């Protein structure tokens, strides 16, 4: 399964039934390890990638993101979903043009957000947000790649945790052509179930960034796909910060004794 078209087909099949975890690598090394661990698909993380470049989230350029997608997708034999943030544009025509560029990177899926980056007005106008999903849909259809489009509504992570408005947006994105729906930040079981029911039969992605639930519990609620966003990158940074801070502040190396042995880590890449 190396051809991009085959990966798109497999990715769509994963969304047809059941529930699967799609973890988020931040570079080629983490992508290869996750694929070797047996995950059936992967998803990039805008935050994890930005941190690897020494920047905060949402400070990556379109060209850098596209290069990253191509690099990660080309490094593994499983489908890769691209975190395309807000499409690196506001107007639908520009979103369409940028999605067209992304469809040539070997990815099997792509998500578009409705956040603005402005804390005082964090969500895009409803009508504009819907038109952006339609524009992304047109770009994907024109590419004839079969890439799966995910429509994201960001209210619960940008200070607007309004379930009614979130569902209004997700159902509109589904009607506009989104294949999968995603509202990061929703944690309550009844809210997740409400989203699943509202957009059915289209699949729903749930974000898990801490230990508030399990795969079995989300599957029972009807969630089809589970991602972890930047949580794996944060977990890696946690170990790094703990060890580096100990060395800097105490002059001791206790944390390094907890690290995986060199041979074990090196072995992860022996066959690459």
Sheet of 109-112, strands arranged across: 20-22, 225-227, 204-207, 180-182, 148-152, 109-112, 80-83, 42-43
Q: Rounded to an integer, what distance in angstroms lies between the CA atom of residue 201 and that of residue 222? A: 10
Q: Answer yes or no: are the C-beta atoms of 180 and 150 closer than 8 Å.
A: yes
CA 60 to chain centre: 15
| DSSP-assigned letters across all residues of 206-250 | EE--SSS--HHHHHHTT--EEE-TTHHHHHHHHHHHHHHHHHHHH
Q: Which two tokens stand for residue 189?
A: 């079981």
H helices of the chain, in order, are 4-14, 28-36, 46-52, 62-73, 92-102, 126-143, 163-175, 189-199, 215-220, 231-250, 262-267
Classify residue 226: in a domain, yes or no.
yes
* Residue 173 included in any domain: yes
Query: Using an 8 Å Cβ cutoff, are 8 and 215 in contact?
Result: no
272 confidence band (pLDDT: 50, 70, 90): low
- Tell me, yes or no, whether 186 lies in a domain: yes
181 in a structural domain = yes
- Mean pLDDT of the residues in the chain: 97
Domain count, the chain: 1
Residue 51, domain member (yes or no): yes
Q: Is residue 194 part of a domain?
A: yes
pLDDT band at 1 (very low <50, low <70, confident <90, very high): very low
Q: Is position 240 within any domain?
A: no
CA dist 23 and 75 (Å) reads 15
Is the confidence at residue 43, as pLDDT, over 50? yes
**How many degrees, rounded to 5, is the angle at CA 172 between CA 167 and CA 174?**
95
In a domain, 266, yes or no: no
167-197 pLDDT tens trace: 999 999 999 999 999 999 999 999 999 999 9
> CATH number of the domain that 213 lies in?
3.20.20.60
Q: What is the domain extent for residue 45?
A: 4-230
Q: Does residue 203 register a pLDDT over 60?
A: yes
């Amino acid at each position: 399964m190396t051809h991009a078209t085959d990966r798109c087909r497999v990715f769509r099949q994963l969304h047809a039934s059941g529930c699967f975890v799609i973890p988020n690598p931040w570079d080629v090394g983490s992508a290869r390890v996750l694929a070797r661990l047996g995950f059936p698909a992967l998803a990039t993380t805008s935050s994890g990638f930005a941190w690897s470049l020494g920047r905060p989230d949402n400070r990556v350029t379109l060209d850098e993101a596209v290069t990253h997608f191509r690099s990660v997708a080309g490094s593994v034999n499983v489908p890769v979903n691209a975190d395309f943030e807000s499409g690196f544009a506001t107007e639908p025509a520009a979103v369409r043009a940028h999605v067209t560029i992304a469809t040539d990177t070997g990815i099997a899926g792509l998500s578009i957000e409705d956040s603005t980056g402005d804390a005082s007005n964090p969500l895009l106008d409803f009508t504009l947000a819907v038109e952006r999903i339609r524009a992304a849909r047109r770009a994907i259809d024109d590419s004839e790649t079969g890439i799966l489009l995910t429509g994201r509504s960001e209210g619960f992570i940008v200070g607007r945790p309004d379930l009614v408005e979130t569902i209004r947006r997700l159902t509109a994105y589904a009607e506009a052509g989104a294949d999968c729906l995603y509202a990061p930040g929703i944690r309550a079981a009844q809210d997740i179930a409400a989203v699943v029911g509202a957009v059915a039969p289209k699949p729903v992605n749930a974000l898990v960034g801490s230990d508030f639930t399990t795969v079995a519990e989300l599957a029972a609620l009807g969630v089809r796909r589970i991602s972890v966003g930047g949580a794996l990158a944060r977990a890696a940074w946690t170990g790094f910060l703990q060890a580096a801070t100990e060395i800097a502040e105490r002059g001791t190396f206790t944390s390094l004794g907890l690290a995986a042995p060199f041979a074990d880590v090196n072995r992860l890449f022996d066959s690459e």
